[in-house]
Structures are given as C-alpha cells and as structure tokens.
C-alpha cells in the first residue's frame, strides 16, 4: 500500500533559490526585514511544553551579530523542573505517535513544505538577524528546510514498508522497523534551521518524539519551524521545545534515563563529551543510548596541475569565506601541486580581496562571526599564524561603520606546514591556509592528514587522478571539480568520517535507520 501512496507524489525537485540580483526580489527581501523588525523585535518568546506555550520567569537575550549592542528578542531559561516536564511530555506522547500512520506523517511534512515556501523571505530575515547570514546564505538554508520536508515525507513512507527476507516453507516471516522513543535534538547556531530540522524530522518521521534544544544564539530560527509543524498538523506534544542554559539543558538532558537517543551537531569537544556521558547507564534506564553526532571538519581542497585554476579559485573562495567560514564543511586548507601553487594562490588572493565586509542585513558578501568570543579565538589563531606561516591577505579585524561585531577580514596564509595548527585545527572563521604538495598523490596524502573527514574537494581534468581521489580521499563527502560546501538534502547525503562524527548522512536513504530498531516476526503456518 505504501508503494501505491508514494506513486501519488510528484517527482522530487530541489527548491530553487531566490535570485537576489533581480530588483523586485531584492526589494521583497528588504521588505521582509522591515516586517520582521516590526513583528518580532524586542519580543519575549515562549517554550513549548506538553503542547502549550510556556513563558519563563527568567529570560536570556539574543543579540544581532551585525551589531551586538542590539537585542533582537528574548527567550526563557528553562528550569530543571521544566526539563523534566518536557521529557515527561515527550515520553507520554510517544505512546500514541509511535503508532501514527506514516501517511499522516508524510502529509504533515508536505503541508509544512508549502507553508514554508510562502514565508521563506521572512525566515531568511529572522536568520540574518540572529546569526549574521547574508541573503543568499540564509536563503540556501531555508530552501534546504523545504527540501527536508519533501525528502522526509518520502522517507517516512519508504521505511514503513520494512524489507523482504529469504522465505521459509512453513513460516511467514517479516522484518519491520519500529521507533525507539524520545530523541534529544541538540543543535548549533550556524545552521539553526536546517540542521535541527533534519535531526527532528528524522526522529518524528520514524515515529519518535523529540525534545528540541536550539542554540542560545539562534532560538527563533528553530521556534518558527516548530510552530510551522504545529500549523501543518503535527500533534503539539510530539515536539517539546526548550531553551536556556547548559547547566540545565546540557548534561542533565543527555544523562536523563528517559532519553533514548541524542542527535547532536556541534563541536568535537561537546560531541565527545556526549558520547562519553551517554555510554553510562543511569539508574532505571532500560536501554543503551544511541548517539548520532556531527562534530566539524578541517576540509581540504586539492588542486592538481591540470585543473581549471579559475574554476578552482572561485570554488575555494566561495567555500572558504561564505558565511565567514563558519561552516563545518568550509574549505580551510588548500593543497596544490607545486607547479601551479603560486598561480592558484594569486588568483585566490585576488578574488578574496574583492570581498566586502559589512552587514548581512544589507547583503554584504562577508559578515561578522557569531560573537566577540568567537572573534577573539579566531584572532588568536591568526596572531600565532603570523609567526609560523606567510600572511598574504588580511590578518586583522575589519571595520563595519559604527556597528560593533566580530568582523574579521578574509585571511589567507601561505606555505603552511602540515603540523601547524592552521593546517590541523578547526578555526571556524574566515581563515584559509595554503600548503604546497610535491605532486597530486602527495596532495591526497596531505588532504588525509587530519583527524577530521567531513568534506573535501578535488580539482583535476584527468580521469585516472579523479578515480584515485574517489578511492583514497578520506571524507564522507567528496566533491570533484566543485566547491566543498552546499550539500543538497536528498542528493548529497551529509556526514563525515573520523572525528567529524558518526557518518549518519542526513538527507540520505539510510538516515532514518538511526532512529529505528528492527523487529523480525516469524509466524508458523
């Protein structure tokens, strides 16, 4: 029956991006910013516990990264008692949602996709004010959210079918997949809509319930999606939405005996902490917790001597400096063959020098990093790098008029030693290192010289080199002759190797398996 229902879906197509080069489209985005400021600025927003909006006795402020003096909105600080209420509500809701019709789930997701299409520019503006993405970066993420809704609608139906087994002559045997329980979704600030939505949809598409904890820097981008799902028909207690501080929503959430699984995206440090704490069985806990973690990257771009250098340079600059390098998939290492190293470096520096630093609300190509703490950490890497490598561009804080924020000039270091922290450690900012390779095989070896393995790009026209790169480069997502950012849900299943995480591959055909358990039923004739 499920196959028949799937046949009623139109063929999947990725949501197209808005063309902000058109005056009319750009005008609509500016209007959306004005509307968001009028509608949301200064408001205090609720959590959702047991399906009800709950205000907090204490709140925290969300600041605009483009000018950190501006408080854009406020959210509640959950108490330990409210965390218990959220987990208890999700646990109770699971007993009904686990038996919900997969077609019901798919229909809710499809309806949510339509609702989001109508409000994309609004969601873009909210994100720009919360985490400093310019128009194109925000729109790419919200378009990915539309894709998530469409993809997970189809995946909910696909996984409901179970899988065939080899038959027995005297038994009827089936293998089916069942949901596992309450899933804690812990998400980062750099993709505050697409990342938590992907994890949450994986959980609820499989029949689980969710405790959704957004990053404190970007809670409204998440809350609007939760409310959108409610509007689309999701039972309101299937997702519990909690905001607040790590002392209440960090270890206590991970450790809780009624949490069946933690879906996490963030730093290696926190991901490893979650893995360690989740391994301990708490009193009264009846299962081994499952952890799905995506923990960052140190992503290389390899450029061979036969590559199209103009194409490679454009891809490197886009991947290194888009959203100020604050992507786990961002290109942070360029490894080029010696014969083209200097020429490629010159082309990349020329393009990067043209990037204008400014406000994301005004659609500047390069905006601020998320906050001053991040800026200070990035600049510490830069200052130390000046003593170990050759600075060829940037290396200083950038001004942006009268605004106060973490503005950093696009920065490029050349002749970086593979042992240098510039080469090995995730900086998460607009800092790019260049390293020279003896030949293309040595370049692949250098690309693999990392504890991370999330994305990589490889530029060459030679089929033999490309085939070797496909075999040998140690990364969950390898892009040949294109930039290493910009994964599309449903097509570029996303997740890495090594310390980049558990390789869960969000948006891919196997993702829901992480949220399910397998039951075999044999009935004798």
Active centre residues (catalytic): 294
CA–CA distance, 519 with 525 (Å, rounded to integer): 19
List C-alpha distances in Å: 446 to 235, 333, 402, 419.
50, 10, 42, 10
For the beta carbon of residue 100, count every other beta carbon within 10 angstroms: 17
DSSP state of 55: -
CA–CA distance, 195 with 155 (Å, rounded to integer): 17
* DSSP string for residues in 118-160: TTHHHHHHHHHHHH---HHHHHHHHHHHHHHHHHHHHHHHHHT
DSSP state of 362: G
CA angle 160, 165, 166 (to 5 degrees): 165
To which H or E segment does residue 456 belong? strand 455-459
Answer yes or no: are the C-beta atoms of 186 and 204 closer than 8 Å: no
Answer yes or no: are the C-beta atoms of 223 and 239 closer than 8 Å: no
Return the axis-axis angle of helices 338-353 and 309-321, rounded to nearest 10°.
50
Answer yes or no: are the C-beta atoms of 239 and 190 closer than 8 Å: no
Reference 121, options 229, 19, 233, 227; nearest CA is 19
For the beta carbon of residue 523, count every other beta carbon within 10 angstroms: 8
Q: Is 228 helix (H, G, I), strand (E, B) or coil?
A: helix
Reference 219, options 3, 91, 72; nearest CA is 72
CA angle 364, 366, 367 (to 5 degrees): 80
Answer yes or no: are the C-beta atoms of 51 and 236 closer than 8 Å: yes
CA–CA distance, 279 with 382 (Å, rounded to integer): 37
């Amino acid at each position: 029956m499920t196959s028949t229902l799937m046949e009623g879906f139109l063929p999947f197509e990725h949501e197209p991006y808005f063309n902000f080069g058109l005056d009319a489209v750009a005008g609509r985005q500016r209007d959306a910013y004005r509307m968001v400021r009028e509608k949301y600025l200064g408001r205090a927003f609720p959590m959702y516990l047991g399906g009800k909006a709950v205000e907090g006795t204490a709140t925290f402020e969300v600041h605009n990264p483009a000018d950190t003096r501006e408080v854009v909105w406020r959210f509640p600080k959950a108490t330990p008692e409210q965390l218990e209420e959220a987990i208890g509500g999700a646990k109770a809701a699971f007993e009904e949602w686990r038996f919900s019709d997969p077609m019901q789930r798919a229909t809710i997701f499809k309806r949510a996709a339509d609702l989001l299409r109508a409000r994309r520019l609004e969601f873009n503006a909210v994100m720009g004010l919360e985490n400093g993405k310019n128009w194109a970066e925000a729109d790419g993420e919200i378009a990915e959210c539309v894709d998530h809704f469409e993809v997970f609608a189809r995946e909910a139906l696909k996984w409901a079918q179970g899988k065939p087994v080899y038959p027995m002559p005297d038994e009827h045997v089936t293998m089916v997949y069942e949901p596992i329980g309450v899933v804690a979704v812990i998400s980062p600030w750099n993709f505050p809509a697409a990342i938590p939505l992907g994890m949450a949809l994986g959980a609820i598409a499989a029949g689980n319930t969710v405790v959704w904890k957004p990053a404190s820097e970007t809670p409204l981008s998440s809350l609007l999606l939760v409310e959108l799902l409610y509007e689309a028909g999701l039972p309101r207690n299937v997702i519990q939405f909690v905001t607040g501080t790590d002392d209440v929503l960090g270890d206590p959430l991970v450790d809780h005996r009624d949490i069946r699984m933690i879906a996490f995206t963030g730093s290696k440090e926190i991901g490893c902490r979650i893995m360690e704490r989740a391994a301990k069985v708490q009193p009264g806990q009846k299962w081994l917790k499952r952890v799905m973690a995506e923990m960052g990257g140190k992503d290389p771009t390899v450029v061979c001597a036969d590559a199209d250098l103009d194409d490679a340079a454009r891809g490197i600059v886009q991947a290194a400096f888009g959203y100020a390098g604050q992507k786990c998939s961002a290109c942070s290492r360029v490894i080029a063959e010696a014969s083209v190293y200097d020429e490629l470096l010159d082309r990349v520096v020329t393009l990067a020098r043209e990037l204008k630093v400014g406000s994301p609300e005004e659609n500047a190509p390069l905006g601020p990093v998320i906050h001053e703490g991040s800026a200070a950490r990035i600049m510490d890497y830069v200052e130390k790098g000046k003593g170990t490598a050759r600075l060829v561009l940037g290396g200083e804080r950038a001004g942006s008029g009268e605004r106060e924020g973490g503005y950093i000039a696009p920065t490029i270091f050349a002749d970086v030693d593979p042992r240098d922290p510039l080469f090995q450690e995730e900086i998460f900012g607009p800092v790019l290192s260049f390293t020279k390779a003896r030949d293309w095989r040595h370049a692949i070896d250098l690309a693999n010289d990392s504890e991370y393995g999330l994305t990589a790009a490889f530029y060459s026209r030679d089929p033999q080199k490309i085939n070797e790169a496909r075999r040998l480069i140690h990364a969950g997502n390898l892009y040949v002759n294109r930039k290493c950012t910009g994964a599309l849900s449903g097509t570029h299943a996303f997740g890495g190797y090594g310390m980049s995480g558990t390789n869960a591959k969000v948006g891919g055909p196997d993702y829901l398996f992480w949220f399910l358990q397998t039951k075999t039923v044999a009935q004798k004739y």
